[in-house]
Amino acid sequence: MGAEKRGKVNAGAVDLQEIECFVLDMDGTINLGDRLIDGAKEYIECMQQKGTQFYFFTNNSSKAPLDYVKKLERLGFTGMTRKHIMTSGDVMIHYLKTHGSDPKVYLAGTPELEVQFREAGITLLGEDTQTADFAVLGFDTTFHFKKADTLCRLVSGGVPFVATNIDRVCPLDGGRFWPDCASMASMITYATGVEPKFVGKPFKETVDYILSKTGMEAQKTAMVGDRLYTDIKTAKNGGIVGIAVLSGEISYGDIVEGDVEPDYILDSVYDIYRAICG
C-alpha cells in the first residue's frame, strides 16, 4: 500500500468550503461516549457563527429527539434545539407521508416514538386494529407479545411492513448489547415470510428526508461519519458527499479494503474546521 492519503479522494466532489449543509453522525464522529473528540467543539461553534446548516443524525428510533439535545448539552454544546436532530423515526415519518395521504399506521415503537409520530400528524391505530396502511416497527425497547401478534396479523394480511433501522444490535457499555430493530423484525419475518422495508441509514430514504427537510442541493450536502457501511454508504446511496473520519470505528486500511468509497478521508472533524474556519 502506498502512502496514506487524506483530504479529498474523489476529485469530482465539491470543496469542503462549498458544502452548505453537514449531517453528522454522533458517536465516533463528534464524541466517544461521554468525551468530545478534539476539535469537535470548535467545528460546531464555527458553523454556528458562520450560519452553516448542520444536523446530527441517529439511527436510534427508541429515544425522543430532545434526549439527543440534552446529550449534546451534556457534551458541552450550546444553542442546540430539536431542529438540529434527525432520527430514523423522522425518516420513517417522511416516508409514510410521501407514500400515502393521511396514512393510518400501526406502530410498534417506544412511547417516545409514538409521540413523534402523533406530533407529525400521523394517525396511530391500536393493537386490536384489523387493518392499516402500514405496519411500522421501530427500535422498540417496550416490545411485547401483543405487538408481535398484531404485526404478524397485519403483515400476513398484506399490510406493507416497514421498519425504522437495519441495525442488528445496539451497543451498550461494557461490551453488552441490546437486540435492535432488525433483530426484532427478523422475528416477524420468520413468522410471516415477509421482509420489511428499512429506511434509516444507509438507505436512500434517509437522504430523501434530509434534502426535503433542508431544501439543499445534494452536491452541497455532506454526511460525516466513522462507519463505511452506514454513514458513507448513505451518502453514496443518496448522491450526497461522503466524508469519512478516522476518529471512531474505521481505519485507513478498512477504507482501502472496503468497497464503499468516501469522497473525503479525514482524521477527524477538526480537519473540516481547519478547511472552513481555520
Q: How far apart are CA 12 and CA 116, in angstroms?
A: 38
Give the footprint of Mg ion on this chain (CB under 5 A).
25, 27-28, 226
C-beta closer to Mg ion: residue 132 or 232: 232
What is the closest distance, in whole angstroms, from the C-beta atom of residue 186 to Mg ion in the complex? 23
| Residues 234, 210 contacting (CB under 8 angstroms) | no
Which is closer to Mg ion, CB of 112 or CB of 167?
A: 167
The nearer residue to Mg ion, 146 or 178, going by C-beta atoms, is 178
CB closer to Mg ion out of 34 and 128 = 34
Question: Which residue is closest to Mg ion by CB?
Answer: 28
Beta bridge partners of 56: 24, 85
Q: How far is the CB of 209 from Mg ion (least distance, A)?
A: 19
136 contacts: CB under 8 Å, gap ≥ 6: 92, 96, 105, 106, 107, 108, 109, 162, 163, 164
Q: How far is the CB of 83 from Mg ion (least distance, A)?
A: 21
Minimum Å distance from CB 104 to Mg ion? 35
- Which is closer to Mg ion, CB of 134 or CB of 270? 270
Three-state DSSP state, 105? strand
**DSSP assignment of 44-93, as one string?**
HHHHHHHT-EEEEEE---SS-HHHHHHHHHHTT--S--GGGEEEHHHHHH
CB of 262 to Mg ion, least distance (A): 14
